[in-house]
Structures are given as structure tokens and as C-alpha cells.
Amino acid sequence: MSAKLLMGTGAALLLGPVIAQAATLDDVRERDSLRCGVNAAQPGFSSLDDDDQYRGLDTDVCRAVAAAALGDAEKVQFVPLDSVERFTALQSGEVDLLSRTTTWTSHRDTTMGVNFTGVSYYDGQAFMVASDLGVQSATELDGAAVCTQSGTTSELNLADYFQVNDMEYEAVVFDSPEQSIAGFEAGRCDVLSSDASQLYGQRMHLDNPDSAVVLPEIISKEPLGPAVLQGDDQWFNIVKWSLFAMLNAEEYGITSANVDDMRGSDDPNVARILGKDDNYGEGMGLEADWAYNIIKQVGNYAEVYDRNVGEGSDFNIARGLNALWVDGGIQYAPPIR
């Protein structure tokens, strides 16, 4: 389906399913809440806690955007979506933002009418096998039945990996992570393959986590990040810079605990981030304290990472590639200036 997008006195043809309505920020403010599409049950990234509140790295990205746009990180309506319906929900306007362990790919970025706004978590696809199989490496999986999830990049990655390594496999495809792990536990397959982050979370919820092991090979690049509908540059910038604000805050040592004291810092980088030296939110239609609200109410990137998937969580996943560039990782935010 195509649609015409008027641009000044000329017209351009946008090839894609939809065109974003402009002024998403106005809609969010009129509604006084952000509608954010998330995973229904991926611990560490988006799942319900014991109080039926969504918690996780992806949900904290949603809260950061709400803090920037509305001044209140709790003004979020979380919309649980499966992998098949997530893009349709964004394209139809059911959600303002998609923050659901979604891989940034060329196809999604150029043909689906969406814009990815950054990388909130660098991931990669891996394999989990039953411990009693004695498998030590993915190169030993020739002829295996592999459970995976439909509507994800995992299916293509599997085909590529087994072809390149001249191995055969049988794909056992399910519609949801819950069905995939249930199929693995029931013996429908020898192997479960998905993003490594998801496998660690699923392993934790097995009746006996020691009954399965995640193999060391990472077979793909899976840059996960939030996405918005194309056509609203203001909203695209708000979501993008909300993530960048958390990364910059970590780099300059600004935390939710010290942010009030840091407002008096003599460091001009800190002053700009916290809105004490000019208003760097003005170009996005935001108040000068937009980044202060994010850091105060949600935290910097290290805080978000540690409490959800890092050393402060059950997963204890090392920062690895998700460490800042100054610490040997590849997380890098453009400067606020």
C-alpha cells in the first residue's frame, strides 16, 4: 500500500504501510499518558512483577520518554504485544512507541514505515540445550530440532547459520516465547534458539534452571531498540534523546541519587544535560528540565541496566558490549550541546 506525503508545494511518494500523524507529542500531552508497546513476559526487559506492574529495561525506556514528554515517568499505558502484532500496533497508532526487544534491521527500517531511535541493548542470537545432552558447542547441532519464534529475526538467522556450517536442522516454530519454552520443556525440540538475553530469562523460569545450558556461540547481531512511526521528526527526536540522556548521564556520573546536587556542578557538560545552561529541550518542544526528570525518576543507563539485567538482578549479565565506550563497550551517545 502506498500513500502520498505532501511536502511544501511538491509531493513525494512514501513507499510503506502508513504515514505517521504529526504532533505525537501533542496527542500524548492531551491524553496525559504515553502508550508504549512492550513484551508481555520477558523478564529483565518487560514483564509483570508481583504487584502487576511492568518492569524491565524496555519498560524503563518507556518511562524515560514519559518523564521527558510529560514530566512524570509513571504516566505510561503499557500495551502488551506479541512479535507478530507489534509493528501493526505501531503503524495503526495503537501505541506511540514500541520498546519491545526489537532488532533494528534494514528491512524494518526502510519498508515498514518505522524509525529506530537508537540501541538500548546490544544482543545476539544463541542456543540453549538440555544439559544432559552433553552438547558443548553449536557446531554439534547437525540434525537437531530447533524451537524458535515466528515473526522474529531468529528464523532467518537459523537458516543462515546452518547453511554456512553445512548442517541440517528441523525448525519447530511457535507464536510466542511462552509457547517456545513450553515446547522445549516438553521435548518438542532439542534446542531453543533466540536472543541470548531472552534465553537467560527463560532458563531462570524452568522448573530446574540447571537442566539447561546456553551455548557460548553468538550467531547474529541483534541491536535492540525503541522504534516510532515515520513522519514525526519531533517525536523521533524526543525518543532518541531520552535514551541518549541516560547514556550521557552515566558518562558524567549523574545518577538518580545525586542529580539534585549535580545541578550545582561547575562542569558545563553536566549543566547542559540538566538544563542549567540553556534549554536543550526547546528544539523538541520540551522544558529545560527534560533530562533532569529522566535521571531523577528513572536513572541513568547504568542504573537501568543493573537493576533489570545486570548485577542488581537475578540475571547478572555482564555489561559487555553494553558498557560505555570509555569502559570498553560500544554504547556511545552524541553530546548534549
Residues 231-254 as b or e (16 or more Cβ within 10 Å = b): bbeebbbbbbbbbbbbbbbbbbeb
Q: How far apart are CA 308 and CA 322, in angstroms?
A: 13
Residue with cell 570498553: 328
Q: What is the pLDDT of residues 185-195, one digit of tens each?
A: 999 999 999 99
DSSP at 124: -
> Shortest CA distance to 308 belongs to which of 58, 39, 34?
58
Q: What is the pLDDT of residues 267-289, one digit of tens each?
A: 999 999 999 999 999 999 999 99
Query: Residue 15: what pLDDT?
Result: 38
pLDDT band at 7, cuts 50/70/90? very low
Q: Which helix (H) or strand (E) holds 145?
A: strand 144-149
Q: What is the pLDDT of residues 211-227, one digit of tens each?
A: 999 999 999 999 999 99
Query: Residue 6: what pLDDT?
Result: 33
DSSP at 212: E
Q: How far apart are CA 35 and CA 78, in angstroms?
A: 6
Alpha helix stretches (DSSP H) within the chain = 24-31, 57-70, 86-91, 106-111, 154-164, 177-185, 196-204, 233-251, 259-262, 268-273, 290-297, 301-308
- Phi/psi for 203 (5° steps) reads -60, -40
DSSP at 146: E
Residue 330 CB-half CA count within 13 A: 8
Amino acid letter for position 239: V
Q: How far apart are CA 291 and CA 84, in angstroms?
A: 33
How large a percentage of the chain has pLDDT more than 70? 93
CA distances from 13 to 18, 82, 232, 283, 317 (A): 11, 30, 16, 27, 45
Angle between helices 196-204 and 177-185 (to 10 degrees): 60
Angle between helices 57-70 and 24-31 (to 10 degrees): 90
